[in-house]
Structures are given as structure tokens and as C-alpha cells.
């Protein structure tokens, strides 16, 4: 597609009259409407404003690129507008904007249009083109400038491709020893900034004598996908993105993680950091691998799961460290020094201190995932209010944060507090978005903390705590008075859930439920069920690969040995590669074995007063032999089902 088919002369504004950001958006959107590019002026304008609220599209150097992709757009178009006086557009460099490129993409834009939009965005990195555009007087001149720039770029890329092909044919001794880095660029709409950042990084790397490969996560999908070999040989990784991208693959590499606009404006700084290995080494978490395909524009369910997992991942160190130290203190109390020994007092207090932070940290980081840093404080306070009924702290003060509540709101109330604080912060941002620019600095330092805390405290005091304290009491009473039959059924369900997706939403839901019950009742019965259920899949894999080695590849047999250690440590994710390769057999057998193990822990009255650890915490269990027996029986059943079901001919030889 000729780039001039997007830069329509009829929708150009060579003398923009607007003097403010709002007026500029109104004028350009109206121009689109009267020329039939969009059929719903208000709907398209809302999308433009929503994009501006995420981060300004005034990228600096006198350029702004407002853009939106929705069903109001009738055809892919780029509106060029020039303001001689300049417009205060909240640009990143604080300077007035003179050149506007408003990009409109239809909801179902085809690849040709998207590629043309990407090419157009990349051209705006060229300072010579920008300088000439500022002097252009007619729409014809604007079109010709872009056509010439596109032709020059294509000629340069052809020359570069030819040089790279010749270099690839050269002997190894003659090949370049230049530094090599990899990068990923992505913006929420994937139209403009994604490709501008790509172009800026490539251009800057060339000037610095650095080889670079840039993966783009744009509207046309992932382009120039980074391979495992690319990542392995790179000195460092640059992620210039405003939406979620696949991160687990960069585990162990120095990684520079910045907003996409930094890829455009600070490309030299990013490349220097990556080349010299000055960036911190990235370590992938379990949630990275389970949700790395999600984007910021994903479904409501995936977004809620992502926010919840952000809270849980930050909470887990407090749960694990505090829970295990408390459990050790009980062992000392029972078998060694008694309740007055210094060892018991020290360990019990340390564990309790960590546990006291558990729900506030959970709520705080759920809120932070939703509303960014301003949501952290009201989230922490909301989580703290969910844990406290009435108590004194260090003798300094006494707090009673309840009204019409008989107990604390607990774990469930903490989760509610996190989501409330996050969305409250988003609401406050919108309410304060119309304040004068001179008051911008007051928002994070004064307005968000005061109003966030005030409203959050009111919600917790009068609504959340009274409601969730009742719910928490009902759940606690049910768990305390649950008969053996009901306990076995619940153990079967929780154990099976641990194996359905092995670290995914079902697994985490079961684990969170058990942790919530543990914190509410100090009873580790359900922790035993989820722990046993989570250990079975890796153990079953290890057993099947050991007994039926001919039904597995060499790599699978090696991984099977590793799963003995992973299973022992309650790391279910060791079974994921096997489940990916053969989901029906691996998941089905794992769920059966895990459900049986979970049910057996309840039948044998096993309680594990520690929220993690696998077999390492066996001495803490109330029935250690029952705990081991439950896991062994579940493992044997799952391993035998998998081994017998899997066919030898399916293994690659």
C-alpha cells in the first residue's frame, strides 16, 4: 500500500487553530467526522482520550501521535495537522507540539493497513523529515515528503539486507564481533509507539556499532520473534513496553525494563545499559510463565487473576517464612523447651510478625497492580484494617477499626480491600484529571494519599469489615464443625484442583483457599490436602519415566529425574512441560492421583501447620506417616495410569 493512501489530503489541517490539548483533539476528531473517516464522533473521541490517560502521546520534539482503534473508524487513515503557534499537549519534554499525526484504525484493520501504519510511525524518527514537515505549506508537499522518506528507507533496508546476507556467508573468522542485544517494543494499541521505538533502537544501535534484533508486539501481532538462541547470545535485553509481554524467557539475563516512550527518546541510554550488563538480572516468577501471553487489554477474568497473583506473589514470602517458623516453634514447645522457653518465644514471635504483614501486603500489591504506586498505601491500610478487630500496638496506641462487626474481615476482606483500593485510585485519577496543570505535583503527594486513605477507611469501617467478618465467621464455623466425610470430599476437590493446571488459576485458587482457612483457624488440615495434591504430578512423572523409560524421550527421562526433587519440595510446575506435550494423559492421571492424595490426608487426619515446603515440613505434620502414605498412594496411582496409558510409539527415538 502506498503511504499516501493513508495520508489523505482532504483530512489534513495545515493551520490548526486549537491552543489547548482538548481543543486540538476536538478539532482533529471533527475533521475526521465531517470527511466520513469515522461515523461516531463521541465514541472515537472517548478512545483517543482513554489512550491519553494511559500516557501522553506527545512524544517530544514538537510531535504528538494520538491514536485509537475502534468500530467507529470506517477506514485506516492518518490525519496530519500543523500548528504554527504550538499547542500545550502535555508532551514528555514539556515543549509545545507543532506536528500532529492522529491515527485512526478500524477494529478489523487488515494487515496491509497495519503494516502501512507501522511504516509511517517508524518514519517519524527521522529528524530531517520532521524538520521538512514543519516547513511544509500544502497537503501535496506533505504527501511527497513521506513518499520520498519511505523510498529512501526501503533502499537503505535493501542495502542492509544485502550486507547481512554477505556477512552470513563469510567464514566464522571474518564475522563481526560487535556487541549484540535484543529488544521488545509494545504499546497498548500497538499502532504507533511500538514501531517508533523499534526504529529508534535500530537506528541508535547502528550509530553505536551494536547489533540488535527488535521484536514488536503490535496490532499485526508479534513480528521478528526473539528465538531462544537470540536471547542466549545477547549481552542484555531491552523491554520498552506499556503492556504485558512474554517475560519468563528472559530469566537470568540483564534486563532493562522501561516505558515504550523511553525506547523512542532514550534509546542510547537503554542500549548502553544493555550492552554493558549494568541492568539488574531478571528472574522469572511462577506467575510469569502461567500468564505471559496476557496483555493489558486482556479479558476481565485474566486481568483480575493477574492483579490477584501480584498480591499473592508478594505475600508468599511472609506466609512461607512466618508459617514455617511458627510451626517450628510449636515443635519446640511440644518436644523440647515448653511454652516459656526462649527458643519457642523467639521463633513464635518472629513467625507471628511475618504473618501480621501477610494480608496488608496481599491487599497492597493487589491495589498496586490495578492503580500503580498511588494505590499502594490505601491498599496496605485496607488490608491492615481487615486483620485487626481491636488491639494495641507496641503500647503506643490502640486501634478499633470495626463497627457492627464481631471479628476481623480476614483473608477475604483483605482481597476485597486490595481491589477496592486499586479501583478507588483509578477513580481519583479521573476525578482529578481536570485540575490545572500547575497543581499536577499535588496529586501524588497530597490529593491521592488524603482522599485515598479517607475513602478507603470509610469503606472498610462501615461496609467491608462488617460484611466480610460475617462471611469469615460462617466459613470458620463450617471448617471447625466439618465432619470427616465432608472433609474428605473437600480434600479430594482441593487436591484435584492443584493438578488441573499445575500453577495456573485452579491451582492458585485451591492454594489461596487453604491459606485463608489456615490463617482463620490456625488449622493446617486443608494445607495438607493442597500440599499432597501439588506434590503428586511431579512425583507421578518421575515414577512413570523411571518404570517405563522407553515411552519417553531422553530429554523427558532427564526431566523426570529432576521431578523427584521438585515433587519433594512441593513445586507442581515441574510437570508442566509433560502436560504441554501430552495434556490428556498427564493432566487426567495427575488429577486422579492428586484428588486421591488430598482426600486421604483428610481421612487420615493429617494437618500440616506450614503453608509450603512439601516433604521438608513432614516433621511438623500431626500425622507424618499419614502424610507420606497419602502422597505415595496418590503418586503410584497417577504414575501407573500415565505409564500404562502412554504408548511407546509416541516417544521420539
Residues serving a catalytic function are 67, 187
Q: Which residue has the cell 498505601?
A: 377
DSSP per residue over 13-62, as a string?
A: BSS----BHHHHHHHHHHHHHHTTSBS-HHHHHHHHHHHHHHS-SEEETT
Cβ–Cβ under 8 Å, residues 527 and 608: yes
SS in 3 state form for 438-453?
Answer: HHCCHHHHHHHHHHHH
CA distance 263 to 536: 45
CA distance 431 to 119: 37
CA distance 579 to 500: 10
Cβ–Cβ under 8 Å, residues 266 and 284: no
Phi–psi pair at 364, nearest 5 degrees:
-60, -45
CA distance 293 to 599: 34
Cβ–Cβ under 8 Å, residues 611 and 513: no
CA distance 123 to 103: 14
Q: Which residue has the cell 513480528?
A: 223
The number of residues in the chain equals 653
Q: How is residue 347 written as a grid cell?
A: 521463633
Q: In sequence order, what are the residues at sequence separation of 6 or more whose Cβ sits closer than 8 angstroms to the Cβ of residue 595? A: 492, 493, 495, 496, 499, 533, 634
CA distance 430 to 371: 12
Could you tell me how far CA 609 lies from the centroid of its own chain? 31
Q: Which residue has the cell 485515598?
A: 452
β-sheet bridge partners, residue 63: 60, 99
Half-sphere exposure of 25 (CA within 13 A, CB side): 24
β-sheet bridge partners, residue 241: 186
Q: How is residue 550 written as a grid cell?
A: 522407553
Q: Which residue has the cell 523409560?
A: 549
Q: In sequence order, what are the residues at sequence separation of 6 or more whose Cβ sits closer than 8 angstroms to the Cβ of residue 155? A: none
Q: How is residue 157 written as a grid cell?
A: 533496508
* Most distant CA atoms of the chain, gap in Å: 90
Helix (H) or strand (E) holding 258, with range, is strand 255-258
Half-sphere exposure of 254 (CA within 13 A, CB side): 16
Neighbours of 12 (CB within 10 A): 19
CA distance 503 to 538: 12
Residue 95 carries which DSSP code?
P
Beta strands 180-186; 77-87: pairing state = unpaired
CA trace torsion 262, 266, 267, 270 (10° rounding) = -80
Residue of 621, 616, 619 lying closest to 606 (CA atoms)? 621
Amino acid at each position: 500500500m502506498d503511504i499516501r493512501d493513508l495520508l489523505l489530503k482532504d483530512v489534513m489541517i495545515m493551520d490548526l487553530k486549537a491552543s489547548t490539548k482538548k481543543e486540538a483533539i476536538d478539532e482533529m476528531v471533527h475533521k475526521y467526522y465531517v470527511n466520513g473517516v469515522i461515523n461516531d464522533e463521541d465514541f472515537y473521541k472517548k478512545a483517543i482520550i482513554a489512550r491519553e490517560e494511559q500516557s501522553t502521546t506527545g512524544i517530544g520534539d514538537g510531535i504528538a501521535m494520538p491514536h485509537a482503534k475502534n468500530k467507529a473508524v470506517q477506514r485506516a487513515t492518518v490525519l496530519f495537522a500543523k500548528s504554527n503557534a504550538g499547542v500545550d499537549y502535555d508532551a514528555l519534554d514539556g515543549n509545545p507540539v507543532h506536528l500532529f499525526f492522529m491515527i485512526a484504525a478500524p477494529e478489523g484493520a487488515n494487515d496491509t493497513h497495519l503494516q502501512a501504519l507501522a511504516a509511517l510511525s517508524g518514519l517519524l524518527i527521522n529528524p530531517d523529515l520532521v524538520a521538512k514537515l514543519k516547513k511544509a505549506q500544502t497537503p501535496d508537499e506533505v504527501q511527497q515528503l513521506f513518499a520520498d522518506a519511505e523510498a529512501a528507507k526501503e533502499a537503505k533496508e535493501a542495502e542492509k539486507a544485502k550486507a547481512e546476507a554477505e556477512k552470513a556467508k563469510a567464514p566464522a573468522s571474518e564475522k563481526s564481533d560487535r556487541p549484540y542485544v535484543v529488544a521488545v517494543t509494545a504499546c497498548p494499541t500497538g499502532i504507533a509507539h511500538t514501531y517508533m521505538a523499534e526504529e529508534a533502537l535500530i537506528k541508535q544501535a547502528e550509530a553505536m556499532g551494536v547489533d540488535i534484533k527488535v521484536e514488536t508486539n503490535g496490532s499485526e501481532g508479534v513480528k521478528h520473534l526473539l528465538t531462544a538462541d537470540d536471547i542466549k547470545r545477547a549481552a542484555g535485553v531491552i523491554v520498552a513496553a506499556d503492556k504485558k509481554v512474554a517475560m519468563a524467557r528472559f530469566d537470568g539475563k540483564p534486563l532493562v525494563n522501561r516505558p515504550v516512550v523511553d525506547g523512542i527518546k532514550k534509546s542510547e541510554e537503554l542500549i548502553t545499559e544493555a550492552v554493558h550488563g549494568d541492568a539488574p538480572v531478571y528472574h522469572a516468577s511462577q506467575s510469569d510463565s502461567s500468564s505471559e501471553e496476557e496483555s493489558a487489554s486482556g479479558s476481565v477474568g485474566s486481568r483480575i487473576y493477574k492483579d490477584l497473583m501480584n498480591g499473592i506473589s508478594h505475600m508468599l514470602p511472609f506466609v512461607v517464612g512466618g508459617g514455617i517458623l511458627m510451626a517450628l516453634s510449636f515443635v519446640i514447645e511440644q518436644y523440647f523447651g515448653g511454652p516459656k522457653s526462649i527458643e519457642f518465644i523467639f521463633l513464635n514471635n518472629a513467625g507471628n510478625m511475618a504473618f501480621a504483614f501477610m494480608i496488608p501486603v496481599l491487599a497492597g500489591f493487589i491495589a498496586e497492580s490495578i492503580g500503580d504506586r498511588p494505590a499502594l498505601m490505601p491498599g496496605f491500610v485496607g488490608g491492615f484494617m481487615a486483620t485487626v478487630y481491636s488491639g494495641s500496638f507496641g503500647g503506643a496506641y490502640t486501634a478499633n477499626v470495626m463497627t457492627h462487626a464481631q471479628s476481623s474481615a480476614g483473608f477475604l476482606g483483605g482481597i476485597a480491600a486490595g481491589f477496592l483500593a486499586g479501583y478507588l485510585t483509578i477513580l481519583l485519577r479521573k476525578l482529578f484529571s481536570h485540575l490545572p496543570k500547575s497543581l499536577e505535583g499535588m496529586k501524588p503527594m497530597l490529593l491521592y494519599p488524603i482522599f485515598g486513605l479517607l475513602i478507603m477507611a470509610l469503606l472498610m469501617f462501615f461496609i467491608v469489615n462488617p460484611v466480610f467478618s460475617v462471611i469469615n465467621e460462617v466459613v470458620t464455623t463450617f471448617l471447625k464443625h466439618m465432619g470427616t466425610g465432608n472433609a474428605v470430599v473437600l480434600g479430594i476437590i482441593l487436591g484435584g484442583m492443584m493438578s488441573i493446571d499445575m500453577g495456573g488459576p485452579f491451582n492458585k485458587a485451591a492454594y489461596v483457599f487453604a491459606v485463608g482457612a489456615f490463617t482463620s483457624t490456625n488449622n493446617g488440615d486443608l494445607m495438607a490436602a493442597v500440599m499432597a495434591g501439588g506434590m503428586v504430578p511431579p512425583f507421578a512423572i518421575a515414577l512413570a519415566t523411571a518404570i517405563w523409560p522407553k515411552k519417553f524421550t531422553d530429554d523427558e527421562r532427564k526431566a523426570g529425574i529432576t521431578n523427584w526433587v521438585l515433587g519433594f519440595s512441593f513445586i507442581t510446575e515441574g510437570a508442566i512441560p509433560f502436560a504441554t506435550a501430552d495434556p490428556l494423559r498427564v493432566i487426567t492421571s495427575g488429577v486422579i492421583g492428586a484428588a486421591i492424595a488430598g482426600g486421604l490426608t483428610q481421612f487420615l487426619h493429617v494437618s500440616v501447620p506450614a503453608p509450603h515446603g512439601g516433604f521438608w515440613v513432614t516433621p511438623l505434620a500431626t500425622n507424618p506417616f499419614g502424610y507420606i502414605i497419602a502422597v505415595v498412594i496418590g503418586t503410584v496411582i497417577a504414575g501407573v495410569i500415565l505409564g500404562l496409558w502412554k504408548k511407546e510409539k509416541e516417544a521420539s527415538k
